[in-house]
Amino acid sequence: MIQLKQPLVIALDGHSSCGKSSFAKAIASELGYLYIDSGAMYRAVTWYAMQNGLITNGKVDVSSLITKLSSIDIDFRLNSESLKYETFLNEENIEGPIRSLEVSRNVSEISTIKEVRERLVALQQKMGEKKNIVMDGRDIGTVVFPKADIKIFMTASLEVRTQRRFDELKAKGIAASAKEVCENLARRDYIDQNREESPLAKADDAIILDNSDMTPHQQMEWFFKIIEKYQS
């Protein structure tokens, strides 16, 4: 475990399926930090909306969802067996359901809603008050933690991201074609980068990591160098 001179807030932003969550989890584990998957929070709201009949043919009943935001509670709990953090919505473990392709199809629409973003950003900022945190998402370094100690912007080619996401779904037994996955990622990229509320963008002081041709081990070696430079 790396020994740091001071507690840090580490923000990772980037495109869908470029490995942000896996990398953020690895960093948190290496540092002994809390990992917060902000994307899972938007997926949780999406799952809530789907379960409560607030999404029909891809259209969100925004006004009804807004009135229910105060009744939505999201937290992360460590699974004692897998030693991985899992997402809970109103005391229910929804880690599995929120990773489905159906949720993926609708999450970008949910994330464009101003009130949803305001609610979740407030929750995320509260989680980071004590530092010692690694958080990944789309607007962590630009909106949630604009003063984060270390900001990383991750990306990879659409082809590589499609294959990674396809393999992930296949491993979970979720049926989807490579074409469907590619189209979903391209659509999410467009929505994420062009929405009015907190669009996906690289913070001016973020460090770019293109991991198209990198292994997880190579990514961690890259991060170690960043930490060494930060503490020097």
Which run of H or of E encompasses 62? helix 62-68
Q: How far apart are CA 19 and CA 213, in angstroms?
A: 12
What CATH code is assigned to 9-220?
A: 3.40.50.300
- Kindly report the number of other CB atoms within 10 A of residue 202's CB atom: 17
Unique residue bearing structure tokens 């509260």 = 126
Three-state secondary structure call for residue 111: helix
Q: Could you tell me the pLDDT band of residue 1, with boundaries at 50, 70 and 90?
A: low
Evaluate if residue 3 carries a pLDDT over 80. no
Average pLDDT, the chain: 92
Residues 6+ apart with CB under 8 A from 173: none
Tokens found for residue 213: 């041709």
Confirm if 86 and 154 have CB atoms less than 8 A apart: no
Tokens found for residue 170: 């296949």
- The bridge status of strand 207-210 relative to strand 133-137 is unpaired
Unique residue bearing structure tokens 């009130």 = 115
- Kindly report the number of other CB atoms within 10 A of residue 208's CB atom: 10
Tokens found for residue 107: 């999450």
Return the domain boundaries, the chain.
9-220
- Kindly report the number of other CB atoms within 10 A of residue 35's CB atom: 21
Q: Which pLDDT score is estimated for 77?
A: 87
Evaluate if residue 172 carries a pLDDT over 90. no
Unique residue bearing structure tokens 């159906």 = 102
Confirm if 37 and 21 have CB atoms less than 8 A apart: yes
User: pLDDT digit string (tens) for 33-77?
Assistant: 989 988 899 999 999 999 999 999 989 999 999 999 999 999 888
pTM exceeding 0.85: no
